[in-house]
Amino acid sequence: LAKTTQPISMDSYEGQEVNITCSHNNIATNDYITWYQQFPSQGPRFIIQGYKTKVTNEVASLFIPADRKSSTLSLPRVSLSDTAVYYCLVGAQGPLFSGGYNKLIFGAGTRLAVHP
Amino acid sequence: EPEVTQTPSHQVTQMGQEVILRCVPISNHLYFYWYRQILGQKVEFLVSFYNNEISEKSEIFDDQFSVERPDGSNFTLKIRSTKLEDSAMYFCASSDDSQGTQYFGPGTRLLVL
């Protein structure tokens, strides 16, 4: 499983766009990039997943450059309720991978604090 | 939207006692997982379960731990003889595919005294 590196913490203000970058230099060909969000005392929640280029859903966008050695989670116009820990996970998860079972390996994540 | 549920939300037990943590995965999911998170630490994988057997387990998942799907809806984690260091949040997750997105429950906070 590819090792990931992301900032330990970030601060932002309501209404701003937040970009959290994750480095994964050893990403393998069949690895997907997945982001989870965790609020205090709750279970992780899936946000977005991508393989290359850009993925967007109602919550966030995920930008993946051509070399796939990093990815950026973009949260548009954050609010106080976006204060959480954000995890970048890289592994063989997704439609390109067949066989095996998928345990998620969480790092320390990025602790995002949104201020009024 | 379907969700994973877990009971109890909190459990306090004495060291050496057995505890059973319960989970109801999303109804059409076939792959089930337990994770734990010690306070202030990372979320750690414990075990994955499919087709009524363990698919993979971590080093944490020793002989004191067991999992079971006793009926068509519940998925349980049993700790036979709890230790102080078992105090943590325990999360159940499920997915509809071995490579599919895992959906987590709200967790059970276990405190071993």
**Quick check: A95 contacting B, CB < 8 Å?**
yes
A107:B44 CB<8 A = no
- Of the candidates A52, A92, A86, A101, the residue with the CA atom closest to the CA atom of residue B93: A101
Q: Given a cut of 80, is residue A101 above it in pLDDT?
A: no
A81 touches chain B (CB under 8 A): no
Percent of chain A with pLDDT over 90: 72
Confidence of residue A96 (pLDDT cuts 50, 70, 90): very low
B35 at the A interface (CB within 8 A)?
A: yes
Nearest CA in chain B to A108: B42
CA distance A77 to chain B (A): 25
Measured CA to CA, the distance from residue A4 to residue A90 in angstroms comes to 7
Rounded Cα distance, B104 and A99, in Å: 22
pLDDT per position as a tens digit, A28-43: 888 889 999 999 889 9
How far lies A60's CA from each of A27, A47, A74, A115, B107, in Å? 22, 7, 6, 19, 25
For range B83-101, the mean pLDDT: 91
A99-103, B14-18, B63-67, range with the lowest pLDDT: A99-103
Looking at the predicted structure, is the pLDDT value of residue A97 above 70? Answer: no
Mean pLDDT over B11-26 rounds to: 97
Nearest to B60 by CA among B80, B45, B81: B45
Asked if the Cβ–Cβ distance from A103 to B42 is below 8 Å, we say no
Burial call A68-105: b when 16+ CB within 10 Å, e when fewer: bebbebbbeebeeebbbbbbbbbbbbbeebeeeebbbb
Please give the residue that has the higher pLDDT: either B11 or B101. Answer: B11
Q: Beta strand B19-24 with A70-75: parallel, antiparallel or unpaired? A: unpaired
What pLDDT does A31 receive? 85
The chain B residue lying nearest A50, using CA atoms, is B101
Residue A30: per-residue pLDDT: 81
Q: Is A41 in Cβ contact with B107 (below 8 Å)? A: yes
Please say if the pLDDT value at position A50 is more than 80: yes
- C-alpha pair distances (Å), B27 with each of B2, B3, B8: 8, 9, 19
* pLDDT, average across residues A7-18: 97
Dump pLDDT digits (tens) for A52-79: 989 999 999 999 999 999 999 999 999 9
In this structure, are residues A90 and A27 in contact, taking their beta carbons and an 8 Å threshold? yes
Q: Has residue A93 got a pLDDT over 60?
A: no
Rounded to the nearest angstrom, the minimum Cα separation between B35 and chain A is 9
How much is the average pLDDT of B18-39? 95
Q: What percent of chain B has pLDDT over 70?
A: 100
How high is the pLDDT of residue B43?
A: 93
More confident residue, A92 or A85: A85
Mean pLDDT across the stretch A9-27?
96
